[in-house]
Structure formats: structure tokens, C-alpha cells
């Protein structure tokens, strides 16, 4: 896919987001107008995505040949595993910190002497993210 087509698709995607909500923002704001702008946004956005996929899958896959010759599919799966271990652990850590921190703030507001104990639980939840990052470094070290 040529660079001009890629830039055109990116600009079209951005315009499909900006134009409907810009028209809603600068016009009369009503519930019906919002629904119309949202429907136009969804339809135009996914239409442009489908057109982009058609352009992507009709071109030659030259990059795939380079990946196969440089290290095979195991290298690509290794990078995918490293990304997934970091991403999934950070999502899980974020959920854990959200729960632990809100509970810790509530407990600290009732009794200020338990600050140290509550910070330990928040720190343990943040440790989950670091464990995922360490695992991804270990995976990348084996590639």
C-alpha cells in the first residue's frame, strides 16, 4: 500500500470522527441531532476501515517474507508473548490498584494510623505490573 493511500485513509478516519461531532457542536444541540451525528460517525468510520482493509489485503505481503527469513514465526510469537505479558499484567494491576486504593483511602479517612498497612496492599497491587514487565524482559532476552 503506497504512502499516499495510507495518509489518505488516516486523514479520512480523522475527518470521519471530527466532522459529525463538530457539526453537532456548532449547530443546535438536541438529542435527535446527536443521534444522527453519532450514526453518521459510526457508519463513515467503519466504512473507511473496510475500504482500508480492502486496500491492505489486495497488495503484496513483502514484509511477511522478511519476517519468515529473519527468524520464523517463533520470533513473532515471542514478541507477541512479551507484549501480552506486559499489557495483561498492567491491566490487572490497574484494576487491583483501583480497588485497593479506594478501599485504602476510605480506611485512612476513618483511622489515620493504618496508613502504612494500606500502602502495603496498594504496593502489592502495583507489583503485579512489575512482574509482567520482568517476564517480558525475560522473554525478549531469549529471542
91, 130, 141 from 136: Cα distances, Å: 15, 10, 8
Chain centroid to CA 122: 24
C-alpha cell read off for 126? 502495583
- Is-above-0.75 flag for pTM? no
Could you give the percent of the chain with pLDDT greater than 90? 15
Burial class (CB in 10 A: 0-12, 13-18, 19+), 13: middle
Is 80 exceeded by the pLDDT of residue 51?
yes
* Helix (H/G/I), strand (E/B), else coil: 1: coil
Q: What is the mean pLDDT of residues 41-48?
A: 85
Class of the CATH-defined domain 65-142: mainly alpha
Q: How far is it, in rounded angstroms, from Cα 79 to Cα 143?
A: 8
Amino acid at each position: 500500500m503506497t504512502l499516499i493511500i495510507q495518509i489518505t485513509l488516516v486523514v479520512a478516519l480523522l475527518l470521519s470522527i471530527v466532522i459529525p461531532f463538530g457539526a453537532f457542536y456548532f449547530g443546535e444541540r438536541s438529542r435527535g441531532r446527536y443521534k444522527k451525528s453519532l450514526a453518521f460517525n459510526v457508519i463513515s468510520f467503519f466504512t473507511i476501515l473496510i475500504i482500508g482493509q480492502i486496500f491492505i489485503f489486495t497488495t503484496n505481503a513483502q514484509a511477511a517474507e522478511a519476517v519468515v527469513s529473519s527468524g520464523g514465526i517463533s520470533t513473532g510469537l515471542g514478541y507477541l508473548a512479551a507484549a501480552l505479558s506486559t499489557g495483561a499484567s498492567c491491566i490487572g494491576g490497574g484494576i487491583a490498584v483501583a480497588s485497593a486504593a479506594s478501599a485504602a483511602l476510605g480506611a485512612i479517612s476513618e483511622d489515620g494510623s493504618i496508613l502504612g498497612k494500606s500502602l502495603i496492599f496498594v504496593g502489592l497491587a502495583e507489583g503485579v505490573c512489575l512482574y509482567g514487565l520482568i517476564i517480558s524482559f525475560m522473554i525478549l532476552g531469549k529471542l
